[in-house]
Structure 1
Amino acid sequence: MDEKTQKRLNLSAGIMSSSVAMILVVAKLWALGQTSALSIAATLADSALDLLMSLGGLAAIAYAARPPDDDHAFGHTSAEDLAALGQSVLILVSAAVIAVAATLRLLSDAPAELAAEGQGIVVMILSIVLTAGLVLWQARVARRTGNRVVAADRLHYLGDLIPNVGAIIALAASGLFGLGRIDSVVALGAAALLAVGAINIGREAWNALMDRSADDETIAGIGEIAAAHPGVEGYHDLKTRVAGSRIFVNLHIELDGGQTLDEAHSIGAALRRAIIAKYPRADVLIHKDPVGVEPHPDDPRR
């Protein structure tokens, strides 16, 4: 798949994600006004943050797709991590607000008064249907393009299905049995899920901004490709770092020092293509060393 097609698919996923989030925010605002249910307030906050995240993700996808320039020789993919870090802070704040409101309602002597539970349930069912459709499309795009932003957004929306189902249970319990306090319990559970998701998103974004290396499986996979590549006698100094959806790879390979420069170049170029074939989002830089060469005594990194 060419880069133009990948960019079009990734942008389509971002636009669809933002559109679904906007529809759900409007629908849940209306449902909250009708029912006064904190469980719906929790899913509303989640959808509002989804909208911010989707818009941020869409902007990050578009910005990260820009080619390297004089000021950004390694591209613009770190924009994805900056956006994710800011989103995680917003999610944590929202989770705290929901948790405090739910706790105060549980501790209050006055029972929670919910209304129009049936209308709220209809909105939650609409939310589940739209979210499920979005998740299916995002899964298809992520599978074809390997974009981490789309994949992460898909996991987030997949997690949204749980609070929506919880809101339906809370509304049904209130309408059928008058158990209004279940709404606050569900809201607390939704707040906990939001907080866990925010911490995970923030940790991954922070690690990427701090130039953390790729996961062990990816590093091992790149090493296996290098070790088995024809003409490569060995390799060393394999270094990686992750920025947004890209993996930057630096690798030293050991070649027969008696071959021509053209032959050495052909081996290195073929190895680079092999690595990118397995890891399409990789940016690979290969340095070639003759077998058995000793580091120069003045080299500070020997």
Structure 2
Amino acid sequence: MQKTSLNLSAGIASVSVALILVGLKLWALGATSALSVAASLADSALDLMMSLGGLMAIFYAARPADDDHAFGHTSVEDLAALAQSVFIVISGVVIGTGAVRRLLSDTPTALAQEGRGIAVMVVSILLTVALVLWQRRVARMTGNKVVAADSLHYMSDLMPSVGAIGALWISRHFGVGQVDSVVALAAALMLIFGAIRIGKGAWDALMDRRADPELIAAIGELAGTWPGVHGFHDLKTRMAGSRVFVNIHIELDGDQSLRDAHAIGASLRRKIIETWPQCDVIVHKDVAGER
């Protein structure tokens, strides 16, 4: 219950910060007409969507398995991430296109009230850093992958904010407004490539792609050296949101009692879950040499 409360607190904090940042950056965009601020605004709007999705995923994924969802509800994380990635790509293309048009235009767009825009971006950076520090603390305490991923995403948002400050400062002191378009184009490319990475991960999970090969190898090494296990085969994994489902067949002495065989399989299962809490494990027991 305490871990769930911490995860929810991180999710609510993420949504709250995103709402504040969207409001501030909307005002700053109206005041400055800076595309770099628009790029940062789009990033914050996407953060808000992802934070809402993450918060709903924390609620929904925490539900226990039922008759209709025997393996739980964590796939909702992948569905949300895939939808978000598509929206991120569209936003990145729109911002990038606007930046290129400004760069090629014979009459560059003049920026205004750069000082106010810089103040807003500084506030957004401070709020983002505070949120990331809290999210990382919660992730360390609970091991929640949604919170950890959200923290990583917010960390990547700092660069567009810093870039917007630089573009506004250069425009204010040197009158070089084209820097704003360059920063916006770079931010748009970051959005697109980040969205592709997020979307690929979600797609792989929805298509039952195997888990990280390093994780599979580590589980295999643990099973192969577990007391009472003479070997293993058919180690299979698949991902669903923050969960990794593991199926493994272990080979045991056929002359031992069922109770002893069960104890070996159960202890191995507990050790895998203890070492990798994101795993849901099924251990099948076979007689050694009779595959």
**TM-score bracket for the superposition, by shorter chain length:** over 0.9
Q: State the 1:146 CA deviation.
A: 2.4
Quote the residue 2:192 is aligned against.
195
TM-score (norm 2): 0.98
The one-letter amino acid paired with 1:221 is: A
Check if 1:148 corresponds to 2:145.
Answer: yes
Q: Determine helix, strand or coil for the equivalent of 1:268.
A: helix
Q: State the 1:140 CA deviation.
A: 1.6
Instruction: Supply the distance in 1 between the matched residues of 2:7 and 2:210 (Cα, whole angstroms).
Output: 24
Quote the residue 1:54 is aligned against.
51
Q: State the 1:136 CA deviation.
A: 1.2
Is the CA contact 1:252–1:286 (under 8 Å) kept in the aligned structure 2?
Answer: yes
1:196-235 matched pairs, under 5 angstroms = 196-235=193-232
The one-letter amino acid paired with 1:177 is: F
* Structure 2: segments with no counterpart, 5+ residues: none
Check if 1:9 corresponds to 2:29.
Answer: no
When the two structures are aligned, how many residues end up with a matched partner?
A: 291
Instruction: Supply the distance in 2 between the matched residues of 1:6 and 1:272 (Cα, whole angstroms).
Output: 22
2:20 to 23, 26, 45: 23
Quote the residue 2:278 is aligned against.
281
1:186 to 183, 206, 213: 183
Check if 1:102 corresponds to 2:99.
Answer: yes
Q: State the 1:145 CA deviation.
A: 2.4
Is the CA contact 1:139–1:154 (under 8 Å) kept in the aligned structure 2?
Answer: yes
1:53-202 matched pairs, under 5 angstroms = 53-202=50-199
Instruction: Supply the distance in 1 between the matched residues of 2:20 and 2:60 (Cα, whole angstroms).
Output: 25
- Identity within the alignment, %: 67
Is the CA contact 1:156–1:197 (under 8 Å) kept in the aligned structure 2?
Answer: no
Deviations 1:12-52 (A, max 9, x none): 11111111100000000011111111100000011011101
Q: State the 1:143 CA deviation.
A: 2.2
Quote the residue 2:256 is aligned against.
259
Instruction: Supply the distance in 1 between the matched residues of 2:135 and 2:195 (Cα, whole angstroms).
Output: 20
Q: Determine helix, strand or coil for the equivalent of 2:157.
A: helix
Quote the residue 1:299 is aligned against.
none
Check if 1:290 corresponds to 2:277.
Answer: no
Instruction: Supply the distance in 2 between the matched residues of 1:5 and 1:266 (Cα, whole angstroms).
Output: 31
Q: Determine helix, strand or coil for the equivalent of 1:232.
A: coil
Check if 1:242 corresponds to 2:239.
Answer: yes
* Structure 1: segments with no counterpart, 5+ residues: 295-302
Quote the residue 1:297 is aligned against.
none
Is the CA contact 1:53–1:84 (under 8 Å) kept in the aligned structure 2?
Answer: yes
Instruction: Supply the distance in 2 between the matched residues of 1:149 and 1:99 (Cα, whole angstroms).
Output: 29
Instruction: Supply the distance in 2 between the matched residues of 1:86 and 1:182 (Cα, whole angstroms).
Output: 32
Instruction: Supply the distance in 1 between the matched residues of 2:38 and 2:119 (Cα, whole angstroms).
Output: 15
